[in-house]
Structure 1
Amino acid sequence: MHCLTKTGVRLFFILALAFLLSGGCAGKRAANINEARAVRDLGEAYLIQGSYSRALQEFLKAEQLNPRDPYLYNNMGLTYLALDRPESAVLSFKKAVNIKSDYAPAQNNLATAYMATGNWDEAIEVLKLLSEDLLYATPHYALSNLGWAYYNLSNYDAALRYYNRSLRHEPRHPPALRGQAMTFSAMGRMSEALRSADRLTTELPQNDAAWMLKGEILEKMNQKEEAKKAYEEALRTAGEDTAMKDDAESALRRLK
């Protein structure tokens, strides 16, 4: 039986210590990840409740524990959007996508954040790739966002094309119906705009913005009595939205 030399014993000890330390680090990392997930879950609860500042506090804590969590950065991005900080949202969504390149919801959210900053071309670049992803389960979101980007660039033909594609995937998708109505109206195709607005108010009968849009289209068509009814519905469904109430009341005064 061979005996270990002093050098061999020392080497054996160093290797054993390294093994124990590496195992300890791995255990610590696993503990951090579990703790980070719990903190992230708490932040999600605050996000759902609309407590955005408290949500962000928890997400920042979770980031310190696990800075490689794409779902955390997606949540952070949504929180920054809710806090009207779209530039910070862009950075968070980018981190999510850089960590998980096939994270489709984060890609769509990144495009939304780009649009919130007025970077329409960057949004279109992201959304086109996403809309062509055959594994993306909800392409109507990306397609309707593409429609919105092109609408804001006054490229109404392209906007309408993408809204129509979105509605082929999901015929009752409200953002696409709204965008389609607005695009038809901008193009002067008022009868088609009204049909889209009718479908929108059918899908969202308690949505003040839907009724407001319908009223604006009817007013442009000089159908004043029907426009008044739509504006009255917008006023009725506005709830605590004082800005919408003011818009609806202003429209009704205009039609007197």
Structure 2
Amino acid sequence: MKKFCYLLISIVFLISCASHNMDSEKKKEIAIATQRVGEGFYNAGNYTLSLKNLLEAYETIPDDPYLNNSLGLVYLAKERYDLAENHFKKALELKKDYVDAKNNLGAAYLKLGKWTQAIECFEDVTKNLIYNNPEIPFSNLGWAYFHQKRYEKADFYFNKSLQINPKFIVSIHGLASVYLETGSYLKAIDFLDRELKKDPEAAILHSDIAKAYEGVNDMLKAKKSFETVLKLVPETSSLAREAKNKLNKLN
């Protein structure tokens, strides 16, 4: 928080001291500081202020690959997936080995339903041996294949992700989703029961196991699990809305 405050103070100081005819280096310095402020707002979850600052920086340094990647992330958060795609592509045009932008472009393709393009991106990322969090692109591959209804492939990549990081909730939920979609309800219950013992407050997993209980017609346990979801998430969340709808049908 202190670092973020210092950034805000620095940019205000730079702007106040800059003359009307400031040289290009000074403009670039201010743009970079503005970019850092925008990224700080993004990390704090304030996507509107983040976008405002990043767009201001973009006026001066539109060919910065890292700025384009940051803009793509904000547009992803604001559900403007088309604009996110454009900025991730530009980041990669400017820096062809920018692996984070490649993974993020794949994420944008997932949101746009472009499964084949997403798979191509994630496969490239998984080949990068120095990528910091390899469980993420493997999980993303799982989701791309899941949406293509290629469940064996999805199962393989979710498991590969979990071999790297057994606690990665996105892949745990992904593997559970494969079991549910293929009607492997008992397998889902066994798997999710083990995972919930490790992380009893994982609302998405309570929702998954509730659906598995529905699949085997154990409505009492399904109801109990959906009620647990409501205790764990805000009532305005999509998980809460789904749980309420399910409970209304079960009552």
TM-score (ref. length: structure 2): 0.84
Question: Which of these residues, 23, 29, 42, is aligned with residue 37 of structure 2?
Answer: 42
Q: Which string of whole-angstrom CA distances, capped at 9 and with x for unpartnered residues, describes residues 184-227 of structure 1?
A: 12122222222333355456543433321221111112222221
Aligned to 1:218: 213
Aligned to 1:156: 151
Q: Which string of whole-angstrom CA distances, capped at 9 and with x for unpartnered residues, describes residues 52-90 of structure 1?
A: 222112111111221232221111111111111100000
Q: Distance in 1 between matches of 2:200 and 2:159?
A: 22
Q: Distance in 2 between matches of 1:97 and 1:125?
A: 14
The answer (yes or no) to whether the contact 2:235–2:241 under 8 Å persists in 1 is: no
Q: Distance in 2 between matches of 1:158 and 1:45?
A: 37
With over 3 angstroms needed to count, the CA separation of the structure-2 counterparts of 1:81 and 1:254, relative to structure 1, is same
With over 3 angstroms needed to count, the CA separation of the structure-2 counterparts of 1:229 and 1:48, relative to structure 1, is same
Q: Distance in 2 between matches of 1:170 and 1:161?
A: 14
The answer (yes or no) to whether the contact 1:86–1:117 under 8 Å persists in 2 is: yes
Q: Distance in 2 between matches of 1:119 and 1:52?
A: 25
Matched, 1:124 2:122: no
Amino acid at match of 1:184: Y
Question: Which of these residues, 173, 191, 200, is aligned with residue 178 of structure 1?
Answer: 173
The answer (yes or no) to whether the contact 1:35–1:65 under 8 Å persists in 2 is: no
With over 3 angstroms needed to count, the CA separation of the structure-2 counterparts of 1:35 and 1:184, relative to structure 1, is same
Matched, 1:53 2:42: no
Amino acid at match of 1:132: K
Aligned to 2:191: 196
1:209 aligned counterpart, secondary structure: helix
Amino acid at match of 1:198: D
Matched, 1:250 2:245: yes
Aligned to 1:23: none
Amino acid at match of 2:78: L
Aligned to 2:104: 109
Number of residue-to-residue matches in the alignment: 230
Q: Distance in 1 between matches of 2:73 and 2:30?
A: 21
Q: Which string of whole-angstrom CA distances, capped at 9 and with x for unpartnered residues, describes residues 70-129 of structure 1?
A: 221111111111111100000111111222222222111110001111111100011111
With over 3 angstroms needed to count, the CA separation of the structure-2 counterparts of 1:179 and 1:243, relative to structure 1, is closer
The answer (yes or no) to whether the contact 2:39–2:50 under 8 Å persists in 1 is: yes
Q: Which stretch has the larger CA shift, 27-36 or 75-84?
A: 27-36
Question: Which of these residues, 214, 228, 239, is aligned with residue 234 of structure 2?
Answer: 239
Task: Name structure 2 gaps, 5 residues minimum.
Answer: 1-21
2:59 aligned counterpart, secondary structure: helix
Q: Distance in 2 between matches of 1:96 and 1:207?
A: 35
Q: Distance in 1 between matches of 2:117 and 2:211?
A: 31
Q: Which string of whole-angstrom CA distances, capped at 9 and with x for unpartnered residues, describes residues 132-177 of structure 1?
A: 1112121110000000000000000111111111111111111111
Q: Which stretch has the larger CA shift, 30-39 or 56-65?
A: 30-39
Q: CA RMSD in A?
A: 1.9
With over 3 angstroms needed to count, the CA separation of the structure-2 counterparts of 1:101 and 1:65, relative to structure 1, is same
Q: Which stretch has the larger CA shift, 185-194 or 114-123?
A: 185-194
